[in-house]
Structure 1
Amino acid sequence: MKLQKFLTATALTVVLTSSAAMAADYKLTVTLDTSPQHVRNVWLKDFAKAIEDKSSGRLEIEIFEAAAKYKDSEAAAAVAQGAIDIAMPQYQLISRFVPESDFEQLPMFYGLGRDEIYAAVDGEVGQDLHKRIEDKLRVKVLGRPIDLGFGTVFSTDVELKTPADLAGLKVRVPGGPATVQRYETMGSVPVQISWPDVPQALQTGTVSSLWATQESVASAKLWDAGVKYAMEDRQAIVQYVPLINQRSFDKLPEDLQTVLLSTWDEMVDGQRDFAAERQQAARDLNAKNGIVTSDPSEEALVEMRQKLLAAQPGLVDELGIDPDFITKLSAAIGK
């Protein structure tokens, strides 16, 4: 009996010792409000695995999905306060803290392609913006933003073929003053609604249209909520900026800080291509489920762009964006 107790105790000790040996030395928690199938969630799990491998298991990234912790509209504040270690909100959701964060929603970005946008975001202008975010929120920006993709306008009952078709519609927007102003200029009624609340808003008629992406609509199966039509006019690209609480970052040894930053940078370009592929696949899937997508003519896009640009000076002043930042931004995109 004594021998059996000894063997049992020894076995338990081995199990506990093995578990302790396998446990990571450091853990970082991440909040996402999108579903597990969403492009951001899927890629972040690959990133977390790469961090685990490169750190030899010393650094673990724990992901909380589907707003289990915070909605993206709350995420930046949560990171700043230290309630969560990492978040990846859209730029425009940080604009209430740093007005310049609304830059991708400005009229000057209407209709631009990926390469033109990356030239600004990945260069001096992006570094300037990230420094402003870090100073204001006392966080660290891990690196270049990752993509969701170009925004697409969807509707439950009005077929969208040109930007003019948006006049009079109640449109869900994710937030950000510039996005709100854009739809007001288009003659729409913008309504800010967090992503997890969108299906109910569509079903109850709170909104009949929404600005999202093909990927987001597909991952949430919004055809079940009545979405039937879509229009891709490249109003703006949706990007996620990676924020980590400064204290959480400082607690990591220097070698793990390097692993975190270098791995992020190494994987960004691949993520952006992955996101573009997922958007096209999502458009195909949405089509199979009855959502008809149109592509406006170049003439229609130019006409709307000019209309929007007329309102930009007043918008920049209203938002309190630094004029020097706008000058750098215009030069970066060649506009």
Structure 2
Amino acid sequence: MKEIFINSRRWFAVLAAMLTLLGGNGLARAQASLPQVLRISTENTAEHVQTQAIARFARQLERASDGRLEVRFHHSARLFRDRDAIAALTGGKVEMVVPGMWQLDRYVPDVGLYMLPLFYGRAAEQHYAVRDGEIGHMVSRRIESDLGVRVLGRWLDLGHAHLYFTDAHVSRHADLAGLRVRIPGGAANRGRLEAFKAEPVLIAWPDLPNALERGQVQGMLTTHETVRSAALWSKGIRFGFEDMEYFAQYVPMINARFWNGLSEELRQLVRDTWDQVVDAQREAAARAQREARKVLLERGVEIVKPDEKVLAQWRHIAGKQQPALVHEIGIDPLLVERAQQVVDQR
């Protein structure tokens, strides 16, 4: 009788183990069938050319994944401001961010290369020659290694950043002396404006309209399209100084843990879908900047454009500060030398 009881107890134990195993496998299969959630955070508003491109990417990727990915795109800083997005990405609080490059040099000094005086007043083609080539590839790899993220591919365009003012009618570089100018970030942006005797002030984008209305700054560093998309003439912007301070782009980054959890097929799908968006986005960004400039003029914003000779003169003036900036930021001097060689050939 005792033996029967023991055998029965063993049988129930085996049965329980089998049920647990079957249940665990069923749960694993159910979990495997669920889509992986890709949350994307950006700071710009729905009307912005960057936001519209990422929205297209999100739609195309989710559709192409056939239910394997659920893409949730949050713009207008609804999840994070760009200045906080990188820490959120590396901390696993979001799977993908596309911040402005000016947010990265505090984490990856070599990104500051693109905002150095050597690029001041340069045409977009000269920027592409560096960023889409071997040097750009090296910078992206350093972002990956320093932050532990994955850079999806080529960067999105915003376009040339210029200077805009409320009451200061700046018609020449000398007029910049003493003006408080908002910058979005970037030590090189600060250093370049300081070389022009202006006073750069770091203000996050969502806080800028109030800063303009309260007179905390007299000017700002941004683009025609950004002024248009936020209707900043309603916040007091009346003048523009179109000097091509630097060429602004956005960097597509994905959390490494999320990336490593994707199948190789899905990784390739994400890369390919992103690459399919970039060319059209860059064309749209250039078109948006041209159209935005017209809108600004129609809204009464007066725009002064220095000629190439003047820009070259002030590039030389700002360039005197470049060695100190390179050292301060920690940019690889070899990258600077190679970038200079590329733009000199253009």
> TM-score normalised to the size of structure 2?
0.88
Q: For the structure 1 residues 24 and 305, does the alpha-carbon distance in structure 2 shift closer, same or farther, using more than 3 Å as the test?
A: farther
Q: 1:51 is matched by which residue type in structure 2?
A: L
Q: Is the 8 A contact 2:56 2:277 kept in 1?
A: no
Matched, 1:214 2:224: yes
Q: Name the SS for the 2:244 alignment partner.
A: coil
Question: Which residue in the other structure is 1:15 paired with?
Answer: none
1:151 match: 161
Moved over 3 A (4+): none
Structure-2 residue corresponding to 1:179: 189
SS where residue 104 of structure 1 aligns?
Answer: helix
SS in 2 for 1:112: coil
Partner of residue 170, structure 2 = 160
CA RMSD of aligned residues (A): 1.5
Match of 1:232, SS?
strand
Deviation sequence 1:242-285 (CA, Å, 0-9, x none): 01000111122221111100111122121111100011111111
Q: Distance in 2 between matches of 1:53 and 1:333?
A: 40
Query: Does structure 2 retain, via aligned residues, the 8 Å contact 1:125–1:332?
Result: no
Mapped to 1, the partners of 2:312 and 2:172 lie a distance apart of: 11
Matches of 1:316 and 1:102, distance apart in 2: 8
Could you list the per-position Cα deviations for residues 189-216 of structure 1 after superposition, in whole angstroms to 9, with x for gaps in the alignment? 0000000000000011110100011111
Aligned AA for 1:97?
Y
Q: How does 1:66-77 map to 2 (within 5 A)?
A: 66-77=76-87
1:41 aligned to 27, 38, 51, which one?
Answer: 51
Q: 1:306 Cα shift?
A: 0.9
- The yes-or-no answer on 1:132 pairing with 2:135 is no
Q: Secondary structure at the match of 2:254?
A: strand
Instruction: Point out the more displaced range, 51-60 or 131-140.
Output: 51-60
Which of 319, 327, 332 in structure 1 is aligned with 2:329?
Answer: 319
Aligned-partner Cα distance in 2 for 1:176–1:150:
15
1:191 matched residue in structure 2: 201
Task: Provide, for residues 156-193 of structure 1, a one-character-per-residue CA deviation record: whole Å limited to 9, x for no partner.
Answer: 00112222221111000001111101111101000000
Q: Give the greater-gyration-radius structure (CA).
A: 2
TM-score (norm 1): 0.90
Letter matched to residue 192 of structure 2: R
Q: Which amino acid aligns with 1:238?
A: A
**Residue matched to 2:63:** 53
Aligned residues: percent identity?
Answer: 38
Matched, 1:245 2:268: no
More deviation, 103-112/283-292? 283-292
Is this contact kept in 1: 2:121–2:308, CA < 8 A?
Answer: no
Q: CA deviation at 1:24?
A: 6.9
Amino acid across the alignment from 1:83: K
Counterpart of 1:32 in structure 2 is 42
CA deviation after TM superposition for structure 1 residue 112, in Å: 1.1
The reply on whether 1:104 has 2:95 as its aligned counterpart is no
Counterpart selection for 2:131 from 112, 121, 125: 121
Alignment gaps of 5+ in structure 1: 1-19
Matched residue pairs, number?
Answer: 314
Matched position secondary structure for 2:140:
helix
Aligned partners of 1:332 and 1:81: how far apart in 2? 37
Q: Which residue of 2 aligns with 1:3?
A: none
Residues 24 and 60 of structure 1 are in contact (CA less than 8 Å); yes or no, is this contact kept in structure 2?
no
Hey, what's the Cα distance between the residues in 1 that align with 2:311 and 2:174? 10
Q: Secondary structure at the match of 1:30?
A: strand
